[in-house]
Amino acid sequence: MPQVNFAYAPANDPGGLPLQASIFADRPAVRDELREDAEAAGLTVEDCAPIAALAECEPRALGAVVLIDCPEANPAVLAALARLDLRAARAGARLVVSTSVAALDEVFACCDRSAPQILVDPTRGERVVALGRAMARRPARLRELGADDRLALLRLTEQVGEIADRLERIAGFGVAGEDKAFHFESPRHGYALSRDGVAGQRPPLPDARLLRRIIRHRHLRTRFFEPGLFADPAWDMLLDLAAAHGEGKRVSVTSLCIASGVPPTTALRWIGQLDAAGLIERSADDTDRRRAFITLSDKAAEAIARYFAELGRGVARLV
SS (H, E, C) the chain: CCCCCCCCCCCECCCCCECEEEEEECCHHHHHHHHHHHHHCCCEEEEEECHHHHHHCCCCCCCCEEEEEECCCCHHHHHHHHHHHHHHHHHCCEEEEEECCCCHHHHHHHCCCCCCEEEECCCHHHHHHHHHHHHHCCHHHHHHCCHHHHHHHHHHHHHHHHHHHHHHHHHCCCCCCCCCCCCCCCCCCCCCCEECCEECCCCCCCCHHHHHHHHHHHHHHHHCCCHHHHCCHHHHHHHHHHHHHHHCCCCEHHHHHHHHCCCHHHHHHHHHHHHHCCCEEEEECCCCCCCEEEEECHHHHHHHHHHHHHHCHHHHHHC
Cα separations (Å) of 73 from 106, 108, 204, 210, 301?
A: 7, 11, 40, 37, 33
126 or 315, greater pLDDT: 126
Q: Cβ–Cβ contacts within 10 Å for residue 245, how many? A: 23
Q: What pLDDT does 129 receive? A: 85
CA 202 distance to own-chain centroid: 32
Average pLDDT value for residue range 122-136: 85
Binning pLDDT at 50, 70 and 90, where does residue 260 land? very high
Rounded distance, CA 279 to CA 126, Å? Answer: 26
> Is residue 155's pLDDT more than 80?
no
> Is residue 276's pLDDT more than 80?
yes
Name the range with the highest mean pLDDT among 54-63, 111-120, 175-184. 111-120
237 contacts 218 by C-beta, under 8 angstroms: no
Q: Which CATH class is domain 20-171?
A: alpha beta
Q: What is the pLDDT of residues 176-223, one digit of tens each?
A: 434 433 333 333 344 444 444 444 567 889 899 999 999 998 888 888
96 contacts 134 by C-beta, under 8 angstroms: yes
Q: What pLDDT does 99 receive? A: 95
Rounded distance, CA 85 to CA 202, Å? Answer: 39
In the chain, the largest separation of any two C-alpha atoms, in whole Å, equals 71
275 or 55, greater pLDDT: 275
> Is residue 302's pLDDT more than 80?
yes
- Residues 6+ positions from 80 with CB-CB distance below 8 Å: 51, 54, 55
Q: What pLDDT does 242 receive? A: 96
45 contacts 139 by C-beta, under 8 angstroms: no
- The domains of the chain are located at 20-171, 194-318
- Lowest-confidence segment of 56-60, 155-159, 182-186, 217-221 by average pLDDT: 182-186
Domain at 194-318: CATH architecture:
Orthogonal Bundle (1.10)
Angle between helices 147-171 and 264-276 (to 10 degrees): 170
Q: What pLDDT does 166 receive? A: 57
- Lowest-confidence segment of 96-110, 129-143, 299-313 by average pLDDT: 129-143
Rounded distance, CA 133 to CA 147, Å? Answer: 17
Q: Cβ–Cβ contacts within 10 Å for residue 274, how many? A: 21
**Which pTM value belongs to this model?**
0.73
